[in-house]
Amino acid sequence: MIKNQINIKNKRAKFEYHLFDIYTAGIQLTGTEIKSIRNSKASILEAYCIFDGGEVFIRNMHVTEYENGSFYNHKPRADRKLLLNRKEINKIQKYLMIKGNTLIPLKMFLSEKGWVKIDIACAQGKKLFDKRHDLKEKDDKRDMARAMKK
């Protein structure tokens, strides 16, 4: 069928947050949005998810306007509905009730059927000392790999 040609990631997510539960959701898109995403003209670095009226939306996801689109083009930073099961939505709602918890996107990809999917994670922000600890571990692993190579 269609190759998994798009692979848009949020590289800062694992550094900025402690990740807990990961869900895969579909996204409700218009025609020009899907065309831009298939050209890898999207970014989820600044995006986050909100719970509103019994549904989950992704906010601040940037999808560049389609260059061959006419006046039917989409808005680059519109809220987009995420397609999840009711059980998953209820779990997410309970998780977001606790102060300090958030829902962030990790990566966007094409499924085997050609649908755009997004991995979202329940997360909690890291403190500065947690980030320093992660950097120290990364440097130590790099130093050990260099020593093993010699």
Tens place of pLDDT for every residue, the chain, 150 residues?
455 578 889 988 888 899 999 999 999 988 888 888 888 888 899 999 998 888 999 999 998 888 777 777 778 888 999 999 999 999 999 998 888 899 999 999 988 888 999 999 999 988 888 889 989 999 999 999 999 988
- Give the rounded distance of the alpha carbon of 93 from its chain centre: 18
3-state secondary structure of 81: strand
3-state secondary structure of 52: strand
> For the chain, what is the domain count?
1
Give pLDDT, residue 1: 44
**Nearest residue to 33 (alpha-carbon basis) of 77, 1, 2:** 77
Give pLDDT, residue 3: 54
- 29 lies in which domain range? 7-149
Give pLDDT, residue 84: 93
Give pLDDT, residue 27: 93
Give pLDDT, residue 107: 92
DSSP state of 74: P
**Nearest residue to 124 (alpha-carbon basis) of 16, 49, 45, 47:** 16
**Does any domain span residue 135?**
yes
Give pLDDT, residue 4: 54
**Does any domain span residue 26?**
yes
**Does any domain span residue 139?**
yes
**Does any domain span residue 43?**
yes
**Does any domain span residue 1?**
no
**Does any domain span residue 2?**
no
**Does any domain span residue 20?**
yes
Give pLDDT, residue 114: 85
**Does any domain span residue 17?**
yes
Give pLDDT, residue 129: 86
DSSP state of 75: P
CA count, 13 A, side-chain hemisphere, 60: 9
The answer to whether the CB of 126 falls within 8 A of the CB of 147 is no
Query: pLDDT, tens digit, for every residue of 49-69?
Result: 998 888 999 999 998 888 777
φ, ψ of residue 14 to 5 degrees: the values are -70, -25
The CATH number of whichever domain residue 85 belongs to comes to 2.40.280.10
